[in-house]
Amino acid sequence: MSSFPFLIVLIALPAAGAAVVAALPRGRELLAKQVALAVSLLVLVLTVLATVAFHAGGARFQLTTSVSWIASFGVRFALGVDGIALVMLLLIGVLVPVVIGASWDDELPSGRSMRAYFAWLLLLEAMMVGVFAATDVFLFYVFFEAMLVPMYFLIGSFGGPRRQYAAVKFFLYSLVGGLIMLAAVIGLYVVSNSQLGAGTFAFDALRQLDITPGVQKLLFLGFFIAFAIKAPLVPFHTWLPDAGSEAPIGGAVLLVGILDKVGTFGFLRYCLPLFPDASRAFAPAVLVLAVAGILYAALLAMGQSDMKRLVSYTSISHFGFIALGIFAFTTEAGTGAVLYMVNHGLATGLLFLVVGMLIARGGSRQIGDYGGVAAKAPLLAGAFLIAGLASLSLPGTNSFVSEFLVLIGSFHAVPVFTILATVGMVLAALYILLMYQRTMQGPPRGVLLEESEAPEPVSAHSGGTATVTAPAPVRSRLRVLDLSRRELAVVAPLIALIIGLGVYPQPLLRLIEPAVHATLSDVGVSGTATGGTHR
């Protein structure tokens, strides 16, 4: 089974599905939904089969495919996955059908087609698989830039009132970062040509180059800036709150749950192995940005009145924890960082979905427009609570395991940064629980009051003089309906994974740890809990 070209099929299948959905005639919206869901479920099945075919103790890169693409420049269509990339493919396989199911009855902006929406989702899935599976640096760059296109149209065509502004801002930030990385990719090619006699973009060949520290720092910065924008790290983060709040809910789930992980994945896959000296030299500065992002984004999240914007800021804070784990250079912290990437996608994906379901019922993104939802929609409130508790890393949920590994693995290596990062955990509890309390608890209010009989004074006459007594009681009825069967089917897999991985994360850890250890070996550290010894 390991000889089956899983990765090529995982790219080609959703791309072909996107073409089929887009080509369907007008009026076949239901068929478009069914085709998109079927394709995404088939991708999930193939991803699970690929995971079964992957041997955690085997070669670093498996399920490989390599064919010549642009021979004159040494470019190959080379694909392969290690444990880090494989768990990201699993995350893609889970989230895309969930997003399609959640978007089944979405109300799109006037003039927008559901066929186009689902076609862009499938094309985005193909590009995301490609960016995590590429083992040729040039091919990685192509997918890195290409995946901007479907996300740009998802935000710009199907998003909120300020969707065009958010889409352009997202595209420009990512494009500028990508162009800076392109300069570094060309620099790598020049160095490989001078050392090997022929230029190459193959990851394994580039990993063996002996690049001088000064050149390493320049090339590292080229890759790092692109990945820091994509992640995003503070101060490169300003595009995410706009894009996350204006994107349609399905697009926001994939944006924050998967696309942003390309940045932290890039740190592990390219920055550390290709530029080990520069990675160690810049690590203190990156740790400063990581901890600043944890605290700054958490404080901003506490001040948000827009639910989607609040969730976007929480993600910036979480990405700080991931960067902390990566640049602490220990196996425990690195493994926790990769697991955090997966767990954040599940927890924040569920939180965005539940927020979207609440907005669909109330018609407002403002926290102050809600209250008392739990009384009329207990299932919705329960899903909201589970998502929130996972986002604040409550023990028993998936995020706790990854956050614990990051903190325990980084403490011995960078104790000051770790102690500061723990403050972010306290702030997370505040902004999540306050949002839940204001929307789910208390008396019904705001947009949730479908009918309200205004208080009318009750008049009485005494001796020919009219007096006014207390107003009549107000009768109100919540417009919120609880989760439908379809919505339950959408959130149930994520809830099961959040609880399941919180209790037993070992299946993912078995895949992740060998790949993290190999990456740290490239950097020249032992990867022990004490931070290792530098080469």
The DSSP secondary structure of 257-304, one letter per residue, reads IIITHHHHHHIIIIIHHH-HHHHHHHHHHHHHHHHHHHHHHHHHHHT-
8 Å CB contact between 314 and 361: no
pLDDT of residue 42: 97
Using alpha carbons, list the distances in angstroms from residue 533 to 220, 249, 257, 322, 517: 21, 45, 34, 22, 14
pLDDT of residue 362: 87
Give me the phi and psi of 478, to 5 degrees please. Answer: -70, 135
Region 386-397: mean pLDDT is 94
The phi-psi region of residue 459 (left if phi > 0; otherwise alpha if psi is between -120 and 50; otherwise beta) is beta
Residue 294 has pLDDT above 70, yes or no: yes
pLDDT of residue 458: 46
**Higher per-residue pLDDT: 524 or 150:** 150
Residue 397 has pLDDT above 70, yes or no: yes
pLDDT category of residue 3 using cuts at 50, 70 and 90: confident
| Strand blocks (E) in 99-179 | none
How far apart (Å, rounded) are the C-alpha atoms in residues 391 and 431?
A: 10
Least confident among 4-18, 64-78, 114-128, 436-450: 436-450
pLDDT of residue 375: 87
How far apart (Å, rounded) are the C-alpha atoms in residues 9 and 6?
A: 5
In the chain, DSSP finds a helix count (H) and a strand count (E) of: 22, 6
**Higher per-residue pLDDT: 469 or 121:** 121
pLDDT of residue 1: 63
pLDDT of residue 449: 55
Region 286-312: mean pLDDT is 94
Residue 416 has pLDDT above 60, yes or no: yes
pLDDT category of residue 455 using cuts at 50, 70 and 90: very low
Residue written as tokens 């502004």?
A: 165
pLDDT of residue 527: 58
User: Which positions ≥6 away from 533 have C-beta within 8 Å?
Assistant: 525, 526
Residue 465 has pLDDT above 90, yes or no: no
Region 333-351: mean pLDDT is 96
Respond yes or no on whether the N-terminal peptide bond of residue 276 is cis (omega within 30° of 0). Answer: no
Average pLDDT, the chain: 90
pTM: 0.91
Residue 369 has pLDDT above 80, yes or no: yes
Residue 460 has pLDDT above 60, yes or no: no
pLDDT category of residue 453 using cuts at 50, 70 and 90: very low
Give me the phi and psi of 317, to 5 degrees please. Answer: -65, -45
How far apart (Å, rounded) are the C-alpha atoms in residues 307 and 304?
A: 7
How far apart (Å, rounded) are the C-alpha atoms in residues 129 and 148?
A: 13
Residue 462 has pLDDT above 60, yes or no: no
pLDDT of residue 363: 86
Residue 454 has pLDDT above 60, yes or no: no
**Higher per-residue pLDDT: 447 or 22:** 22
Residue written as tokens 């089974």?
A: 1
Residue 2 has pLDDT above 80, yes or no: no
